Structure 1
Amino acid sequence: MSAKSLAVATPSGRSRALLIDDAEYSTTVIRQGSPIPWTDTTMATTHFDQVRALLNPDALWVDMGRLFLAHTDSRPDLVTAMGARTRVGYPLRTLLTDSDVLAASREMMETVAKTARRQLLLHVPSPASWLATAHEIAGNPLSEVDADRADSASMYIAEWLGQLGSLPVALVLLDARNASLAETLADYTAVTNVSSHFGWTPAMWQDERIDTAQDHASIGLIGAGFWTGDTDAPVPDADVLVTTIPASASPERVLDQLAKLS
Structure 2
Amino acid sequence: MSQTLADDLPDGSGTKALRVWLKSSGYARRLLLGESGDPWADGAAKYLSFFSQARGLLRADVAEVDLGDLFRSWVHRHPALRADMASKKRVTYPLRRMLEEEGPRQLLDEVTEAVAANLQAQVPMVLVMPAPGAWLAEAQQMVDRPAEVDDDAVEDAAMYMADFLRCVSARPVGGLLVEEGASPGPASRYSPILNAAKHYRWAVVGRDVSPESAAVFDATIGTDASAQGRDVSLDLFGQGTLPDIGAGQFAFAEIPVGHAPEAVLDAIAQLRG
Scaled by the length of structure 1, the TM-score of the pair is 0.84
CA drift of 1:226 comes to 4.3
In structure 2, the partner of 1:57 is: 60
Partner of residue 45 from structure 1, selected from 48, 52, 55: 48
Over 3 Å counting, the alpha-carbon distance change for 1:2 and 1:15 in structure 2 is closer
The counterpart of 2:142, out of the listed 137, 141, 145, is 137
Match of 2:263 among 237, 243, 253: 253
Tell me which moved more, 190-199 or 247-256.
247-256
Q: Which letter maps to 2:125?
A: L
Post-superposition CA distance 1:143-197 (Å, at most 9, x none) = x311111111111111111222123222312111334xx4243331111111111
1:1-262 to 2 correspondence within 5 Å?
Answer: 2-7=4-9, 16-40=18-42, 41-117=44-120, 118-142=123-147, 144-179=148-183, 182-206=184-208, 211=214, 213=216, 219-228=228-237, 230-237=239-246, 238-260=248-270, 261=272
The 3-state SS of whatever aligns with 1:259 is: helix
- Residue 223 of structure 2: aligned partner: none
- Call closer, same or farther: CA 1:147–1:60 in 2, change over 3 Å: same
Question: Which amino acid in 2 is paired with 1:35?
Answer: G
Distance 1:23 1:208, change over 3 A: farther
Question: How many pairs align?
Answer: 255
Counterparts of 1:127 and 1:185, CA distance in 2? 9
With over 3 angstroms needed to count, the CA separation of the structure-2 counterparts of 1:2 and 1:189, relative to structure 1, is farther
Does the residue aligned with 1:233 lie in a helix, a strand or coil? coil
More displaced stretch, 49-58 vs 82-91: 82-91
TM-superposed CA distance for 1:137, in Å, is 1.7
Range with greater deviation from structure 2 (213-222 or 23-32): 213-222
Inter-partner Cα distance in structure 2 for 1:141 and 1:214:
30
CA contact (8 A) 1:89 1:153 kept: yes
Do the aligned partners of residues 116 and 63 (structure 1) sit closer, same or farther apart at CA in structure 2, a change above 3 Å counting?
Answer: same
Task: Find the aligned partners of 1:202 and 1:228 in 2 and give their Cα distance.
Answer: 27
Q: Tell me, which stretches of 5 or more residues in structure 1 are unaligned? A: none
User: 1:170–1:201: 8 Å Cα contact kept in structure 2?
Assistant: yes
Q: Which amino acid aligns with 1:137?
A: M
Contact persistence 1:222–1:234 (CA under 8 A): no
Q: State the one-letter code of the partner of 1:236.
A: I
Displacement of 1:198 in angstroms is 0.8
CA contact (8 A) 2:6 2:175 kept: no
Counterparts of 1:242 and 1:31, CA distance in 2: 24
Q: Distance in 2 between matches of 1:130 and 1:214?
A: 18
